[in-house]
Chains A and B, each alone.
Chain A
């Protein structure tokens, strides 16, 4: 047990306590038991290493990491080891596990299912935290600094759980940390000689209160307790500090006040999935459609000023179809091969006709045709309708008539016409300005879509600007979006829905996924493909998808929303933001290339090219990193090579001794100890012994070395010079290195003076070579 740091067991307890909160994020808790076991291993190894190598604490963390890797390998990747040792296959196995964790975390909200990947990743994260805390609190004797990782662990739990964390988690984490600090302070106090002498006889009465170290302890304990209680109680008591700010994580205000962000009462947090990078795979599927449309998860009609929510479903076996018989249609099938979406949601293009969920029972919302499942089907296939809509058809009405008077009177349609009272003025103003001159509802809808996509000057961003404040009132999300003109699909879709409703077109919010990326016929939908789009109701045609979100994310708008009359299925309805939709031959039916209005959005390719270039940045970064690493290694490798070459070089004893000495002084200079210019060998010797804090044997070694060099330089010719001083210089250097600061050590490794000198000489030689060659030629 180290005397100067805190107790390792206390540090481990603090780590475990701060990680307790993470248990609320996972359904089962086997990972926690495993993590505790890992922490015990790490702390045990730390204690043993610290005891064995008193003084060199730098071994502790590598030893702990090694032990944990070993134990984790046995636990999670037992089959891939080579006699119990991790191999490349182990690394791959862990890569798979980590990827699984990523997919699970991206695809599910808390609590997430405890797959093996989740368990392994969480346990390793936990033990890494424990090792960090152990390093800070015990090795570096700074338990206060260890509070930062502990707080991070606690906040990770608090910020990601759906509901408020019970205060107990905070109390446990804070209490163990305070005990850690208290113990450290106590040890520090005891190491003061004057305080270390505890009274021999038990002190009682007034003596107790006057014993300085006891008073110190009492005060500290009281302060700690008061601070802890205050941290929990104050936020609850003070009206301006919501208690959930501390206990429920940060930046989760979904009430539309802080950031103008629209929340969803659903299991899919669109904003979160988008901003979390979206590499997690959710679905893979094959489709019979040449270019499938987006996969819808749910349709929501009600908007309460901040959140979209779907009406309570009327579940049945099939949905009502609003498609007039005169519209030509084709039946398409989609076969989902892997499904990562949590029940009750199911992603499928709509409107569906039939579904085969591989034995899982399902129900369909009769109004929206959303599919509800009890459990998650691993694979499924659905058949859906793809109506051949055209602009003319929509503009003129299916039977030649258009107009709001032909809307059916149902509750669903009425709800789909309700305007949000807070955003009504802004929406109506925008709608009337944009749709001026539109003769039919379809023209109005297309005008709104064009305005949002390109003409209105909106820009797509995942980070929302702060909501503008007017007359002391923070604008509601939709007004704010119309004002700031920045947002992502949710804002675009919400704005279009509201503007369409203001124009008299029933509209609802659809949430789901873009078709994803295709490879050899297999489409892959990632978490980042989550999308929201508006569906507008046209009599005879039903709910028709529009795409107000700019093409940088969604690709070209659906064909029927473009002024050209193109029969056939929707053109490409997606483009990953990183890929140029025009450069993807697999994506398009051949006849679409010249006829769709894909090229009407001239900014798309340029923007896409920019993003494509940005996408290559990681490669660039890798290249730069590799180059930097190589550059950083040039000097150390040169130094090592020089050392080896020089050590092998023969010659008279004096020359050998001089070589060793030059090497020795050069390395010491790299370590920040350079002898004075006018100093003799003995001055250097004294300086090295003093600055390197050499002990007696090392001083003797140094004296022997210096004596050899003196004999070599100044001794009577013929005196025998001891040549074998390299081991002595090594031992002295070894001791000096331990007393130098980090900066000096790193400099000695990566910026060695003799290697620099060698390269400089090489550079000079190369630079002057032509001149010398010329001089030689001329001289001849």
Chain B
């Protein structure tokens, strides 16, 4: 976890078939509950947020944490990264950050008389992108390409990123001065967006007590390693989604597109993300098949930041969460095979 291990062509589980057997699911459950316990020792009283973060981790997606300053966005990202024994890089996004700082750059090595690739900050299992909206769009898009492709191409050479690979970006909605807010199209690449919210009073008091001396991150020891997480991600991908569930996801996406309150609905990629997140959610409950309930649970976090409300809905002070809840209420659940 100290420095990045650069293995451009190393594919952790190449050719390996991992099934979501009950044993695998039990292991997944055990590991994730250890991660959750570790994270909750740092992030007080936010089990829902922790759970979403783990869900996104298992689903192989990226997480956007959006909230006001000082509620523990970075702490959450760090806590998740630290609880896994893997490489972690943190990038503080600033307006003068360059794309090559992220992806890496080819430098001429005098000794070898050749160009040598110096990997950027992206070459890590967990990348914490702080204040992502402070970087210029050019830099942002470099990061986003990596997120989508899972690989980096510099000077014609393609370098595969490590598995698991997860970007946790934080964003501050209040401070708009000198920021480049993520366009909707780019936000779409994040599997889920969560808001921390203020802690409950009791949790805040305890937080003052615990965090008074030193950061609890210092005492956090990893509870699992990258290989295990990568295997668990593959276990998650094997979770079965019945045709009815897939139909339900598509129905929901269609409902967001046809809802009069929504200007821009969920994209097909959003549907894909919903299903993946639902698989992770099911796996977290040690189930080898997805239920519509899983879809409903993950939908707000996965779809919430992708919906652009129509003018009327905005004027009526409706939030995407409300609109989404209404769509969930009104979309019938397919019964499935008879």
Interface residues in chain A, defined as those with a beta carbon under 8 Å from any beta carbon in chain B: 654-655, 658, 676-683, 710-716, 719
Contact = CB atoms under 8 A, between A and B. Distances in A.
Contacts of B46: none
Contacts of B289: 710-711, 714-716, 719
B43 interface: no
A713 B330 contact: no
Nearest to B327: A678
A25 B330 CA distance: 70
Contacts of B337: 654, 713
Given A714-B290, A715-B242, A680 B333 contact: yes
B336 A713 contact: yes
B192 to A, nearest CB: 20
Contact of B288 (A654, A658, A676, A716): A716
A681 B332 CA distance: 11
A654 B289 CA distance: 15
Contacts of A710: 289, 291
Interface string B228-243: 0000000000001110
12 contacts: A655-B338, A680-B291, A680-B292, A680-B333, A681-B291, A681-B293, A714-B242, A714-B292, A714-B336, A715-B242, A715-B289, A716-B288
Contacts of B330: 677-678
Given A680-B293, A714-B245, A714-B290, A654 B329 contact: no
Interface string B218-256: 000000000000000000000011101100000000000
A654 B338 CA distance: 7
Contacts of B335: 658, 713
A763 B331 CA distance: 30
Contacts of B336: 712-714
Interface in B316-338: 328-333, 335-338
B140 to A, nearest CB: 37
A679 B331 CA distance: 8
B240 A715 contact: yes
Given A714-B290, A714-B291, A714-B292, A678 B242 contact: no
A444 B338 CA distance: 94
Contacts of A676: 329
Main secondary structure of the interface of A (DSSP, over half): helix
Given A679-B333, A680-B296, A713-B242, 6 more contacts: A711-B289, A712-B336, A713-B336, A714-B291, A715-B242, A716-B289
Among B244, B290, B332, B338, the one with the most A-chain Cβ atoms within 10 Å of its Cβ is B338
Nearest to B328: A678
Interface in B284-316: 288-293, 296
Contacts of A711: 289
Contacts of A679: 333
Q: How large is the interface on B (under 10, 10 to 19, 20 to 34, 35 or more residues)?
A: 20 to 34
Nearest to A677: B332
Contacts of B338: 654-655, 658
Closest 10 CB pairs of A and B: A713-B336, A716-B240, A714-B242, A678-B329, A680-B292, A680-B293, A715-B289, A682-B293, A714-B289, A680-B333
Nearest to B243: A714
B291 A682 contact: yes
A183 B293 CA distance: 54
Nearest to A718: B240
A710 B291 CA distance: 7
B332 A714 contact: no
A593 to B, nearest CB: 79
Interface string B274-291: 000000000000001111
Contacts of A715: 240, 242, 288-289
Contacts of B244: 713-714
Contacts of B328: 678
Nearest to B326: A678
Given A658-B338, A714-B289, A714-B291, A678 B240 contact: no
Contacts of B290: 714
A86 B333 CA distance: 56
Contacts of B240: 714-716
Nearest to A679: B333
A679 B293 CA distance: 9
A578 B245 CA distance: 74
A711 B240 CA distance: 11
A719 B332 CA distance: 25
B307 to A, nearest CB: 17
A339 to B, nearest CB: 78
A678 B333 contact: yes
Contacts of A713: 242, 244, 335-337
A469 B295 CA distance: 84
Interface-central residue, A682, A683, A712, A713, by most chain B CB under 10 Å: A713
A719 B240 CA distance: 11
Contacts of A682: 291, 293
A711 B290 CA distance: 10
B278 to A, nearest CB: 11
A719 B335 CA distance: 17
A704 to B, nearest CB: 15
Nearest to B238: A716
A682 B293 CA distance: 7
Contacts of A719: 289
A495 B328 CA distance: 85
B332 A678 contact: yes
Q: Which residue of A654, A677, A681, A714 has the most chain B CB atoms within 10 A of its CB atom?
A: A714
Interface string B245-272: 1000000000000000000000000000
A682 B289 CA distance: 15
A720 to B, nearest CB: 13
B291 to A, nearest CB: 5
A715 B328 CA distance: 22
A712 B335 CA distance: 10
The residue among B241, B329, B331 with the most chain A CB atoms within 10 A of its own CB is: B329
Interface string B7-40: 0000000000000000000000000000000000
B171 to A, nearest CB: 31
A678 to B, nearest CB: 4
Contacts of B333: 678-681
Nearest to A675: B333
Interface in B43-97: none
Contacts of B291: 680-682, 710, 714
Nearest to B20: A716
A677 B242 CA distance: 20
A713 B338 CA distance: 8
A9 to B, nearest CB: 55
A719 B242 CA distance: 12
Contacts of A655: 338
A63 B85 CA distance: 73
A110 B291 CA distance: 78
Contacts of B331: 678
Nearest to A654: B337
B233 to A, nearest CB: 19
B259 to A, nearest CB: 13
B193 to A, nearest CB: 23
A682 B282 CA distance: 14
A713 B337 CA distance: 6
B284 to A, nearest CB: 15
A681 B240 CA distance: 18
Nearest to A662: B335
A712 B242 CA distance: 10
B123 to A, nearest CB: 37
A706 to B, nearest CB: 10
A532 B75 CA distance: 109
B23 to A, nearest CB: 15
Interface in B185-244: 240-242, 244
A425 B241 CA distance: 103
Query: Which of A680, A681, A682, A711 has the most chain B CB atoms closer than 10 A to its own CB?
Result: A680
A719 B292 CA distance: 18
A676 B337 CA distance: 21
A658 B329 CA distance: 23
A679 B328 CA distance: 8
